[in-house]
Structure 1
Amino acid sequence: MHVAGRPRPRGPWIWAWAGETGPPVDLYETAEAVVIRVAIPGAEGAALTLTIDEEQVVLRGETPPPGARWGERTVVHWQEIPYGKFERRVPLPTPVQKDAARANFRNGILEISLPKRVTAQPRTVQIQLG
């Protein structure tokens, strides 16, 4: 927040919530899938990169500051929305089928659905006598 009479901060804006760098994340687990929802207001879907490995999901992207489209003579009086490059790593609570992952970006919310990996079930084998 800018205080009157003090210089305004300059440079890239940093995303930060609870010690993390990046936008806020909700992580859900259903019987069938792990679902991750990420709030990224102002981002363009094409500017986002999603990588899934065995243990985590990594989201990289950038949200451009709106002032860039208004010109250099824009005066910012108040700015709380974070802008700039970000990276967010979300640890997965259970193994998933990464090849079956789906991602949908709508109204500033990225929703990632990761079907759970089917684990081998114990099998009883009939023992033949003789």
Structure 2
Amino acid sequence: MGHTRTTDGPESTTTQKEDRVMINWNLFREMDSLRREMDEIFRSVGAGDLVENAFMPGPGARRFPRLNLREDGDHYYLYALLPGVDTDHLDMNMVGNTLTLSGERMEEVSEQKRTWHRRERGAGKFLRTIELPAEVDARGVKAEFRNGVLEVVIPKAEEAKPKRIDIKVK
């Protein structure tokens, strides 16, 4: 039995059932969707590269870590480039079909004074959220870190795997 709450008159009546719809809202998915929409708007007026780099440190900086994502019938495969990141400073978690990589690339510390001629390799904390196209089985995720590359194998949930459907001829 739904409870009714009234605010500001009869037109603004809502039920608890309607309030529960908001439970499926995912902040990271919404932020990523908003970023994609904004990128598309700026690309459509020819300012895509300008905006992509506008808020990043240094000229030509990109999202970190850089990654590739591919799939086959049963799995997603994610490859994240993380040179100079120690696994002690790397975290990965999944919520639903959203994978989040976070961590820190530590800055080189030295007692002696150094004269830098070029410093293009950044240091500091990072966070990257990737929404996968379909539901996954988070219990079966496997990750390996080798030569500065994080390789993640993510099994698709059974309902997300392609199914062969036989066609009967009459």
TM-score, structure 1 as length reference:
0.72
Q: Secondary structure at the match of 1:75?
A: coil
Which AA in structure 1 matches 2:88?
Answer: A
Tell me if 1:81 matches 2:143: no
The match for 2:93 is 51
Tell me if 1:98 matches 2:138: yes
Which AA in structure 1 matches 2:129?
Answer: R
User: Which protein, 1 or 2, shows the higher relative CO under an 8 Å CA cutoff with sep ≥ 6?
Assistant: 1
Q: What RMSD in Å do the two structures reach over aligned CA positions? A: 2.3
Instruction: Give, in whole Å, the separation in 2 of the partners of 1:111 and 1:38.
Output: 7
Could you report, residue by residue, the CA deviation over 1:58-98 in whole angstroms, capped at 9, with x for unpaired residues?
A: 001011122x1x32512221111121100000111111100
Moved over 2 A (4+): 13-16
Aligned-residue sequence identity (percent) comes to: 28
TM-score, structure 2 as length reference:
0.56
Is 1:96–1:114's contact at 8 Å kept on the other side of the alignment?
Answer: yes
Gaps spanning 5+ residues in structure 1: where?
A: 1-12, 122-130
Gaps spanning 5+ residues in structure 2: where?
A: 1-55, 164-170
- 2:75 equivalent among 33, 40, 59: 33
Which AA in structure 2 matches 1:106?
Answer: R
Q: How many residues matched?
A: 105
Return the structure number with greater helix share: 2
